């Protein structure tokens, strides 16, 4: 869908420089065409096997299923890897989708070769399958195999954070999908601004799980309320184009953004205060040991 230009010189546009906000990050789908194109080989594989007998058709169908499964897993693996890379603190993906996709791709390629052999031969399909598996890994890499930034972090507390963060992200995604029903560009842009502020708080909690207790109300109750308000606004505005409903919704987003930003600033200030205390304690201990720091 085409999107109207919005920026410094647009009629209703305000720049990030004018508002003093952090520039909005542009989200790019990590999948891309090289992963989507993997769905294509299954089609000619089946189409060219109808006249080669029942056995060839069976191998072709199984191969097409394996290749389609490989393409689907690659898409999920790329998105999981992008989410892993975007966070400073993250668990490795529970399911190594890209490596499983490479295996499915190898099996699918071997079955495709078997579907077009005139005589039974196991060596050639196996060799082609191994080559295809290697090409999948070379093209898309392997999945992250270890946790990131979790040294010294209580795993129980981190699991609690992960559950809250996942739920918060679901609320934000639902809100972004729902606001499209309203068909209002300014409301959509305003929601994106609020979502960025909410994600700043999410990242703060991820990096220091001690902030979870204070931030849980924001990432749970407040986001759920914002999600419900977005759904009601989208339903009303899409039918009636009620200007008051639009004004009230934008005011709600303003209040929420200010509250989320204030909570995040407080968390960061508390972190700096904790660091100052730890440094002072360390200086005192070193001083008792006869070490003098300039």
Domain ranges of the chain: 32-140, 152-288
pLDDT higher than 60, residue 274: no
Would you say 253 and 192 are in contact if contact means Cβ atoms under 8 Å apart?
Answer: no
Mean pLDDT of 33-43: 88
pLDDT value at residue 294:
53
- CB of 70 closer than 8 Å to CB of 132: no
Whether the predicted pLDDT of 7 surpasses 70: no
Among the ranges given (3-7, 146-150, 153-157, 188-192), the one the predictor scored with the smallest mean pLDDT = 3-7
Beta-carbon neighbour count of residue 238 at 10 Å? 13
**Which residues 6+ apart lie within 8 Å of 136 measured at CB?**
70, 74, 98, 101, 102, 105, 106
Residue scoring higher pLDDT (127 or 167) = 127
Separation CA 84–CA 168 (nearest Å): 16
User: Residue 145, Cβ neighbours under 10 Å: how many?
Assistant: 9
What pLDDT sits at residue 219? 82
Interacting residues of 148 by C-beta distance below 8 A, sequence separation 6+: 84, 87, 88, 89, 90, 91, 92
pLDDT, tens only, 175-190: 988 998 888 888 888 9
* Banded pLDDT at 15 (limits 50, 70, 90): very low
Neighbouring residues of 154: CB distance < 8 A, sequence distance ≥ 6:
209
List phi, psi (to 5°) of 148. -120, 130
Residues 113-129: what's their mean pLDDT? 89
Distance CA 45, CA 273 (A): 64
Is the predicted pLDDT of residue 29 greater than 90, yes or no?
no
Q: Is the pLDDT of residue 104 over 90?
A: yes
Task: Inform me whether the pLDDT recorded for 273 exceeds 80.
Answer: no
Q: Is 280 exposed, middle or buried (0-12, 13-18, 19+ CB in 10 A)?
A: exposed
Residue 8 is predicted with a pLDDT of: 44
């Amino acid at each position: 869908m085409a999107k109207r230009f919005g920026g410094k010189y647009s009629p209703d546009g305000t720049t990030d420089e004018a508002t003093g906000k952090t520039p909005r990050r542009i989200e790019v789908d990590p999948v891309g065409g090289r992963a989507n194109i993997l769905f294509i080989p299954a089609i000619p594989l089946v189409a060219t096997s109808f006249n080669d007998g029942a056995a060839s058709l069976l191998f072709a169908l199984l191969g097409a299923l394996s290749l389609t499964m490989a393409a689907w897993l690659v898409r999920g693996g790329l998105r999981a890897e992008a989410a892993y890379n975007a966070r400073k603190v993250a668990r490795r993906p529970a399911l190594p989708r890209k490596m499983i996709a490479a295996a499915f791709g190898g099996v699918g390629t071997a079955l495709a070769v078997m579907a077009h052999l005139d005589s039974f031969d196991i060596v050639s399909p196996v060799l082609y399958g191994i080559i295809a598996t290697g090409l999948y890994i070379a093209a898309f890499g392997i999945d992250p195999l270890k946790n990131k930034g979790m040294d010294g972090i209580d795993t129980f507390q981190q699991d609690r954070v992960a559950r809250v963060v996942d739920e918060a992200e679901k609320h934000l995604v639902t809100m972004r999908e729902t606001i499209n029903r309203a068909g209002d560009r300014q409301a959509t842009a305003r929601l994106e601004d609020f979502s960025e502020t909410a994600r700043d708080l999410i990242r703060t909690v991820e990096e220091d799980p001690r902030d979870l207790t204070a931030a849980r109300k924001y990432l749970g109750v407040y986001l759920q309320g914002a999600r419900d308000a977005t759904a009601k606004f989208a339903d009303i505005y899409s039918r009636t184009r009620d200007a008051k409903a639009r004004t009230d919704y934008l005011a709600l987003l303003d209040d929420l953004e200010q509250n989320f930003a204030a909570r995040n600033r407080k968390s960061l200030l508390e972190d700096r205060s904790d660091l100052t205390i730890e440094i002072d304690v360390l200086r005192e201990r070193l001083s008792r040991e006869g070490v003098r720091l300039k």
